Structure 1
Amino acid sequence: MSNPFLSSEEYDERAHALYNEARYDEALQLLREGLAVYPTAVELHVGAGYARLAREEFAWARRSFDEALTLDPEHEDALAGLGEVLLKFGQVEAGMQAFERTIALGYDDDVDLMLQIGRTLFREGYVETCLQYFEHAVEHADDSAEAVSCIGYAQHRLGNDVEATIALRRALTIDPEYAEARVYLANLLYDAGDLDGALREFEKTTPEDHWDELGIWRLMELKKSVYRLNDDDGELKPWEARLGELEGEPDDIDELLADVEQAMLDRETEGNPSPAGPLETLGTLLTGLASQQQAAEQSEVASTDVLMADSDTHRVVMRDGSSFEGSWDEIVQALRDARDAGRPLHEYMAIEARLFYGATGINIASHAPEAFIRGGAAAGMLRIVR
């Protein structure tokens, strides 16, 4: 029920606080209440648009932004939101025009707005264009470590690692405590083969500075190699604890795969002959587990179920229109081969998750192919067709 004693500004402030806490449903409900009292309040329409965006209700988000722009055609936040929605709908030219309109209106000195638009373009795959907005932000706030580091992330995605390294070092000169850039730089140096430099940067971070597993694994590897630490050395304990926090509790699929792996290890320990290759062995074990679960059913039904399981495939479509089909593992392998052939699969997922987080602030799981793909879909990296 609406509260007539709240002003439109108070509705907006309270909804904004809920939005920042990722309580999008509550924020939207509050904004609806506000709009019932103040139907011409532009900020409430804009807030509703962003809440809808967060809930992936793109058609409704577009309606909210259109209503805001009807009331105020030059509202910069509404233009930025509309541009993002239009990109979601594949209306690239119109989306770019909405973004460019903010520049034409003189909002290029709004650092937060430029970073927001730049990150949107980065997420949607328009990296060269996003760089222009990051540069606008730096032009008007050359002491912003956040803005400078965004240039580094974009340059890295464009393959310009020298420029990326320069930008990240500059960001850390501005703010030596900016952990996000520090972790990114350390991983960049590791990829470039500068292990000494990578370790120096990693050692300036704390476990809480890391939001993906890749950097922690690399730091632990380098520490054990350089300082000859044992696996159970106390110096590694805080990092192992952080790994546990990031990986979270195993789900049903993780537990099933762990059971399969244990069964394979048990067979090897018992010395049973295993002439088949790893894939055939895994398939046999999975079939055996399925058969045990369906022992009470008729043989013909059980066989049909196994065949269906074996033929279960998925299909994903990337932002550039390319598509990949197969099991979750096969899809991620194909993505890896198309971008970074030869790198271990778990490392590829961790690197991509780190790149995406560095530019957008959105975390994507990287501990398993299915979690990686589903997380990427939720974050807008790709679309799952089936």
Structure 2
Amino acid sequence: MNQPDSWNYEHFDSEAQRLYEAGDFDQALGLLKEALARYPDSIELLVSLGYTRLAREEYAWARAAFEEVLRLDPEHEEALAGQGDVLLKLGERASAFLLFEALVALGYDQDVELMLCVGRSLLREGLLRRAERFFRLALAADPESADAALDLAFTFYREGDSEGALYWSREAVRRDPGFGEARALYGNVLYERGDFRAALAQLETIPAPDVSDPAVAWRIIELKRRLRDLPADAEELGPYLLALEELTPDPTPEERLLAELEAGASGLSPWPGAGQLDLFGRPPAVAEAAAEGEVHRVRAPNGIVYEGDWDGIVRAMRNGSDRPGASLSDFMRDEAMRLRALTGLPVSWQTARAFLEDSARVGALEIER
């Protein structure tokens, strides 16, 4: 990148963090490589490198960066937390737990942001009880932390504990009345409990431009129409319909091509119908499934058609999602929770067949065969 010779490591690190926070991980990585060529022993740059590699899902490289930091400073808190996150991703849970507990032993349980960081790493991996422990440590360090309260609410929500999710999401709103994400979860929990007026009272406080979840936009539109008997083209629905449109765009030609390539790699075809497959030849995985009488066809709301066995269809859906690296179990669980938040109806995620059949039952897709 050829930054000015006058830049010291702090200039490099500050700019890399700006790029990282903007989601430009490629530029951040290039800048950090240039910086480390000049300052190879900079702990700050190595920590930033580790987190940038982690964001790029380059876990072996992230591990090497954090290991180098810990060689230079064995008690560096950000490196311990980052290395623990890497080890979770690599399946080395016991080693990750030891690093997280080392942070507590070193007195970092008073660092609210660090405890939240560790808790969120655990929550992402579905380790709910361990995540709860670190969120409670954050709350003990700062009893008025709205972030800690909301993270606890999400943890209980993931567990299916409606009472816990309701209590802590309400507490997050009390601590920070302008916290839109807390209002969204609080409103969703109220909705799922059947308290529709209270749910709308929470959700409609979120300005339409700040809505970041299509399920929330849908729910606001639905509740406004149901409780206020509004027509579909009511003016006050317009901003939320616009938000919904922006949050659920139709696939671009490039996205359609990518979906075709990903589906082809898994032996599935997302676009053509059965007749086209018969004309041009079925992919091997589909042909094998057909020979065994196990071919199913599922149509998504955006028109994508998936063919194959139940597991193969879910795998293709996962590959075309924004979380292609998630396990099938995690993908189905998260989608089931999203659909429940959207429709208020339970969706099973224990097996691919149950997940797809329940998704069809709530109107999220259509099983054509």
TM range (shorter): 0.7 to 0.9
Q: Which residue of 2 aligns with 1:34?
A: 35
Structure 1 counterpart SS, 2:311 = strand
How many residues align? The count is 305
Which residue does 2:166 correspond to in 1? Answer: 165
Distance 1:209 1:53 in 2: 28
Aligned counterpart, 1:122 = 123
In 1, the alpha carbon distance for the partners of 2:41 and 2:284 equals 59
List runs of 5+ in structure 2 lacking aligned partners: 258-269, 297-309, 319-327, 345-358, 365-369
Higher relative contact order (CA 8 A, sep 6+): 1
**Secondary structure of the structure 2 residue equivalent to 1:325:** helix
Q: Give the structure 1 partner of residue 353 of structure 2.
A: none
Q: Name the CA distance, whole Å, in 2 between partners of 1:308 and 1:150.
A: 42
Residue 379 (structure 1) aligns with? none
Displacement of 1:347 after TM fit? 2.1
The structural deviation recorded for 1:348 is 4.0
Aligned counterpart in structure 1 of residue 339 of structure 2, from 347, 350, 353: 347
- Counterparts in 2 of 1:31 and 1:174: CA distance versus 1, 3 Å: same
Residue 282 of structure 2: aligned partner? 305
Is 1:325 the counterpart of 2:311 in the alignment? yes
* Deviation larger for 32-41 or 127-136: 32-41
> Equivalent residue for 1:50?
51
- CA distance in 2 between counterparts of 1:344 and 1:57 reads 28
Helix, strand or coil at the partner of 1:232: coil
Aligned position for 2:248: 247
Q: Distance in 1 between matches of 2:58 and 2:232?
A: 48
For 1:8 and 1:80, the matched residues in 2 are separated by 22
1:327 alignment partner, SS class = helix
Identity across matched positions, percent: 37
Query: Residues 192-240 of structure 1: CA distance to partner in whole angstroms, max 9, x if unpaired?
Result: 1111211211222221232121122122111111111111111111111
Q: Secondary structure of 1:113's match?
A: helix
1:48 offset after TM fit, Å?
A: 0.5
| Paired AA for residue 66 in structure 2 | F
* 1:288 corresponds to 2:289: no
**Contact 2:132–2:152 at 8 Å: present in 1 too?**
yes
**1: CA distance between counterparts of 2:336 and 2:47?**
44
Q: TM-score, normalised by structure 1?
A: 0.71
- Does the 8 Å contact 1:2/1:37 carry over to 2? no
Q: Alpha carbons of 1:100 and 1:345: their partners in 2 closer, same or farther (altered >3 Å)?
A: closer
Aligned AA for 1:326? G
Q: CA deviation at 1:31?
A: 1.3
Is the alpha carbon distance of 1:252 and 1:6 closer, same or farther for their aligned partners in structure 2, counting shifts above 3 Å? closer
Counterparts of 2:159 and 2:284 in 1: how far apart (Å)? Answer: 43
Deviation at 1:339, TM superposition (A): 6.2
Q: In the alignment, what sits opposite 1:81? A: 82
* TM superposition score normalised by structure 2: 0.74
TM-superposed CA distance for 1:72, in Å, is: 0.5
Alpha-carbon distance between aligned partners in 2 of 1:287 and 1:345, rounded to the nearest angstrom: 31
Give the C-alpha shift of residue 287 in structure 1: 2.4
Helix, strand or coil for the counterpart of 2:206? Answer: coil
Kindly state the Cα deviation for residue 184 of structure 1 after the two structures are TM-superposed. 0.7
Out of 158-167 and 129-138, give the one that drifted further.
Answer: 158-167
Shift in alpha-carbon separation, 1:308–1:77, aligned structure 2, 3 A: closer
Change (3 A) 1:308 1:251: farther
Contact 1:76 1:107 in 2 (8 A): yes
Alpha carbons of 1:181 and 1:122: their partners in 2 closer, same or farther (altered >3 Å)?
Answer: same
The amino acid of 1:223's aligned partner reads K
